[in-house]
Chain A
């Protein structure tokens, strides 16, 4: 699937836009991505002030996907990324969150994805198996590893490929490659050489653990003790 082209996401165009126009450009990208898949697009907005997770004045959550029952969800982006005169991280975050929307859709409609084992991992990951409190497990659990990988690939396709951005994008790309390399080294040191499989196994155990707990609660309440 080719990456959609949205002219206002070119670095030179983006720099001249207002934050509202930049958000519109991100929404247009989301519309085109959803259209390619035959889904309804998510609403794209900035993370509301009350939900911002600040550390030293900087937001530490780049974006989030909020699913909705029975309709398209919402993608929220760090407003600092939208204010930045470089579009790359905002666009990469949009690709990342859009992938989460796709994963959730694929769990509901497994026939759309060509790898059933991957969908089963996503299903467990999104239904009680999600790990948040330890960065190595968080970063390499199936839904996050996949969203990061796809977002990196698509951002490259858009800026190195479609836009032929050879001015500022190569520096951003080098930073991202360093970030990935750091995340791998951190995970190898923290949870072992087989970090991705370790994270996957932990996710499966957490999912099963939750399932057993739910079943035992259902039994307890079901029999009126």
Chain B
């Protein structure tokens, strides 16, 4: 499993992406260890913010970011669910279908 460097991520989300401090801390507190196959994608992003368009179970991270209106790490956390063998396969399949759908704010 790959552990995110939360201090570095926190600095980027707050200083560069201008996300509210409280919401960043809340998000990072619940951020899970990631599947090893996602480690290089995260490292690249931490280094220079490049988003490598990783595809997991047929879903690309850029599509998930756009449809779910989420930032890079939130989309990665969601895609990680699809690789988590502790999550029952039916639940993963359902989650994948949800990630394909757009969210709306109002």
Residues of A within 8 A of B (CB): 53, 55-56, 58, 60-64, 93, 96-97, 131-135, 137-139, 147, 182, 185-186, 189-191, 202, 205-206, 209-210
Contacts and interface: CB of A to CB of B under 8 A. Distances in A.
12 contacts: A58-B102, A60-B102, A60-B104, A60-B105, A62-B106, A63-B106, A97-B106, A182-B97, A186-B95, A186-B98, A189-B87, A202-B26
Nearest to A63: B106
Interface in B15-30: 19-20, 22-24, 26-27, 30
A133 B98 contact: no
Determine which residue in B22, B24, B27 has the highest number of CB atoms from chain A within 10 A of its CB, and name it: B22
Contact of A61 (B24, B68, B94, B104): B104
Interface stretch (B4-12, B34-42, B49-57, B69-77): B69-77
Interface of B: 19-20, 22-24, 26-27, 30, 66-71, 74, 77-78, 81, 87, 91, 94-95, 97-98, 101-106
Given A55-B102, A139-B103, A202-B26, 15 more contacts: A55-B67, A56-B66, A60-B105, A96-B106, A131-B23, A131-B26, A133-B23, A137-B26, A189-B91, A190-B30, A191-B30, A206-B20, A206-B22, A206-B26, A210-B22
B68 A133 contact: no
